Amino acid sequence: MKLTTWNVNSINARIEHLEKLIKKDKSDIYFLQELKCTNDNFPYDVIKNLGYEIIVNGQKAWNGVAILSKKKLEIINDKIPTFKEDENSRILETELKLPQIKNKIKLFNIYLPNGNPIETEKFKYKIDWMKKFNEYVLDLCKRNTPIIIGGDFNVIPSDEDVYSPENYKNDACAHPLTREQYRKLINSGFTDTVKYFVEGKTNWTFWGYRGGGWQKGNGLRIDHFLTTSEITDIIKSVTINREPRGWEKASDHTPVTIEI
DNA sequence: ATGCCGGGTGGAACCCGA
């Protein structure tokens, strides 16, 4: 069972890349972020023709997340239940049953707010979003629910996860308050699967368009899969697929895959 | 050069992202 997360930076601008990726790696489930389209403008036909069921939480111009799955999944939540007033489409919660795990697994596809610049309401919104999400998820943890959280976290977990910590000293993704909220998940038993399973350094998942980020190898590790222990125990592999970042007119993020 | 690029939107010397 392969699950892949990818911030596509506009599903309609990237549909040919997505098709190419799906035909190559054939994951069972895809978490997509930054669709930049409404539910009505999602390219359902292309993806259905590849053999996937689709759930979408879209929004005009910004944000938007979707889950593609070979087997039909149901939407459990499209808002954080403790943060229903959130106006942005940034989350999809669904459930998956696997034979090797007794209870249903909770799947979360998230597009966590960027939060820059840090002196504005945007940063307050980011921290608030993280607190509300943690409140909900950590409550599930207490009840020993198996959980997989995948997506674009906009969190640089440590200074090892950015090409130049100095340049990101005042960035919302590396801010101590951001890292503190992320650590609450780690300290509650979630495994940062890329950190734990992918060897070596510079395991970037994002390279910015500006200043030749990709060409210079100036990247960040901000797309993550976090798993509770029951899931971590059955992980076969975790990979960052750098290839799509090198394609013409690429997304600035590249896919991350876990196999269980 | 985070005034850099590349999306969306609407018709912008605009907005957003990270």
E-strand spans in A39-190?
Answer: 53-57, 65-69, 91-96, 105-111, 147-152
Q: Which nt sits closest to A14, CA to C1'?
A: B7
Q: Identify, with chain letter, the residue nearest to nucleotide B18 (CA–C1').
A: A114
In angstroms, rounded to a whole number, what is the distance separating the alpha carbons of residues A76 and A42?
A: 20
In angstroms, rounded to a whole number, what is the distance separating the alpha carbons of residues A181 and A178?
A: 5
In this structure, what token pair is assigned to residue A214?
A: 């990709």
- Per-residue pLDDT in tens (0 to 9) along chain A, 260 residues: 999 999 999 999 999 999 999 999 999 999 999 999 999 999 999 999 999 999 999 999 999 999 999 999 999 999 999 999 999 999 999 999 999 999 999 999 999 999 999 999 999 999 999 999 999 999 999 999 999 999 999 999 999 999 999 999 999 999 999 999 999 999 999 999 999 999 999 999 999 999 999 999 999 999 999 999 999 999 999 999 999 999 999 999 999 999 99
Q: Identify, with chain letter, the residue nearest to nucleotide B10 (CA–C1').
A: A61
Contact call for residues A151 and A224 (beta carbons, < 8 A):
yes
* Strand B within 7 A of A18 CB: no
Whole-model pTM?
Answer: 0.98
In this structure, what token pair is assigned to residue A137?
A: 């998820």
Domains for chain A: give ranges and CATH numbers. 2-259 (3.60.10.10)
